[in-house]
Structures are given as C-alpha cells and as structure tokens.
Structure 1
Amino acid sequence: MNAYRVRPLSFPWTPFVYIAAILIAVGLDRLFPLELLDGWYLTFLAIGSVFLAVSVWLGFSGFRKLYKCGTAMLSSSAATRLVTSGPYRFTRNPVYLAYTLATLGAGMVTGNAWLIAAAIVTAGITHAWIIRREEKHLLARFGFEFEKYRRRTRAWI
C-alpha cells in the first residue's frame, strides 16, 4: 500500500487510554487509598501545579502547530507534513507528554498516588503501542527526513 495512504492507527487511541487510566486510578484510590507523605504536601502541590501548567501549554502549542502546518492532528489520520518546529523541536510527542504531565500533575495536586502510577504505566503503554506505530508510519511517509529528526529529537524529553 502507498505510504501516503497508510494510517498509523485505525482509531485515535491515546486520549481514551489516558482517560481509562485516570478512571481506573480514581477508582483504585477510592477502594485502596494510598497516602502521599503529608510533610511533602506543599512540595507535591507546587510541582504538580507546574506539571499541570506545562501540560496545558504543551498540549495547546502541540495541537496549534499541527493545525498551522496543515497536517493530521489525530493518530488515526495519515500525516501530510513532518512537523519539527515549535514544541516538536524538543520532543517528538509533545501532546502525549502533555497528557502524561497532566495525569502526573493531577496525582500530585490531589495526593492520589494511583494517578502518579497511572501516568507512568500509561506513558509506557503509549510508547510501546502507539508511538512505535506512529513512527513506523512517519518513517514510511517521510523516510530519511524523519530519520534525521528522530536522531536529533527525543521521543519524550
């Protein structure tokens, strides 16, 4: 099949994976609450707030850059352009990093240790299941140009 028509995924799974992880973490916290260290509450609150703020900026700027470049914003659509500017200069997956930082930040702000664990596990699932497929699509679609980008830019941070 033509690389221009191949889609990386048949469905935009990433938001649903993170939403499911968050719902599971909230449910687990109600059934089996895990207390974060009380003495560290203000530290967790400050760091979590920074993570939440960075995640909002990163998510919006990532989607905005994709939109401005006129390429697919959902992982179920074929990319029409390789975006390497804006937040994509620093990470190949700014939107997925934003989802992870938001989940991690929410866990720190609310004191829900399950959300912190969910952020880590979901980032691993996202990398293994979604990012690898997307990168195969981008390699087939953009070839050497994507390979150069992949070598100079980290997948996460």
Structure 2
Amino acid sequence: MNAYRSKSLRYPWPVALHGLACIAAVALKRVLPIPVKNTYGEWIPWTIGAIFTTLGVVLCLWAIRTLLDRQTTVLPNRCSSHLVTCGPFRLSRNPIYLGYTVIMIGIGMVALNPWFFVLAIVTVIITTVFAVRAEERHLLSRFGIEFERYCRRTSRWI
C-alpha cells in the first residue's frame, strides 16, 4: 500500500482506551480504595476538577474544530490529507489525547478517586507507545521533512 494512502491505526482505540481507563478507575475504587483525606471541603476539589474537565473538553473541541477547518480527518484510523500545525497543534502534537487525559484528571478530582490519576499516566504511556508512534510514522511517511520540522518545534504532549 502506498504511504500516502496508509492509515496510522486500524481502529481509533485511544478513545476506547481512555474510556476503559475511566471504567477501571471506578471499579478499582470499589475493589482497592485508596484513602483520600480531603481537608479543603467538598467544593474545592470539585471546583478544581470541574475546571480541569472543562479545559480538557475545550482543548478537544478546539483541536477537532481545527482539523475540520483544515479539511483533514479527525479519526486516527484514517489517512491525513493535511499536516495541521496551527491552533492547539502549535502547543502539542496530540492535543486531543492530551484533552482526554486532562478530562480524566478532572473527573478524578471531582470523584476524589486517585485511581484516575494512576490510570491517566498508564493511559498516556500506552497511547504513546502504541498509537502516537504509529500516527507519527504515518505523518512522517506522508509529509516528510515538513513533519520533521514540526516535531522539532512542537512537543509530543506538553
């Protein structure tokens, strides 16, 4: 298959991975609870968690809107037609996955569930190893030196 037509992933599983991590965090809190001492009152962790969750949603929506405006695919299992380096992609090469992770941290704060933080880290590692690297190989084969320049000036996550 031509590199220009190849897809980075067969299935858009990073979305599913983050969803499964959230389900696992809820289940782990029931099975192996990690005690959390909240000395600040209910509203402070809830407010901070709500802010994180909102920031994550806004980041995801901004990135999706930027991809759609540039007329390229949002789905990681489709072939990219354009290299997008503007909007949130100026700050991170993976703003949607970063947004998912920030949402997980926000939910963990609202729920006072440390398993969300643990599984957010695990999810970032798994997503990087199996999805991000495959997507980067696809973009390198598709856009070559232009993608290499973008990688030099923009970090993978933050």
TM-score by length of 1: 0.95
Aligned position for 2:157: 156
Per the TM alignment, residue 9 of structure 1 is displaced from its structure 2 partner at its CA by 0.5
Over the matched positions of the two proteins, sequence identity in percent amounts to 42
> Which amino acid in structure 2 is aligned with residue 151 of structure 1?
R
TM-score by length of 2: 0.94
Instruction: Find the aligned partners of 2:46 and 2:157 in 1 and give their Cα distance.
Output: 23
Aligned position for 1:86: 87
Range with greater deviation from structure 2 (94-103 or 46-55): 46-55
Please list the CA deviations of residues 18-72 of structure 1 after superposition, one character each: whole Å capped at 9, or x if unmatched: 1111111111111122122211455533432221111011000001111111111
Counterpart of 1:64 in 2: which secondary structure?
Answer: helix
Query: Unpaired runs of 5+ in structure 2?
Result: none
Per the TM alignment, residue 74 of structure 1 is displaced from its structure 2 partner at its CA by 0.5
Which structure shows the bigger proportion of residues in helix conformation? 1
Aligned position for 2:105: 104
Counterpart of 2:39 in 1: which secondary structure?
Answer: helix
Per the TM alignment, residue 13 of structure 1 is displaced from its structure 2 partner at its CA by 0.6
Does the alignment pair 1:9 with 2:9? Answer: yes
1:17–1:122 Cα contact (<8 Å) kept: yes
Give runs of aligned pairs for residues 54-133 of structure 1, distance below 5 A.
Answer: 54-133=55-134
Query: Unpaired runs of 5+ in structure 1?
Result: none
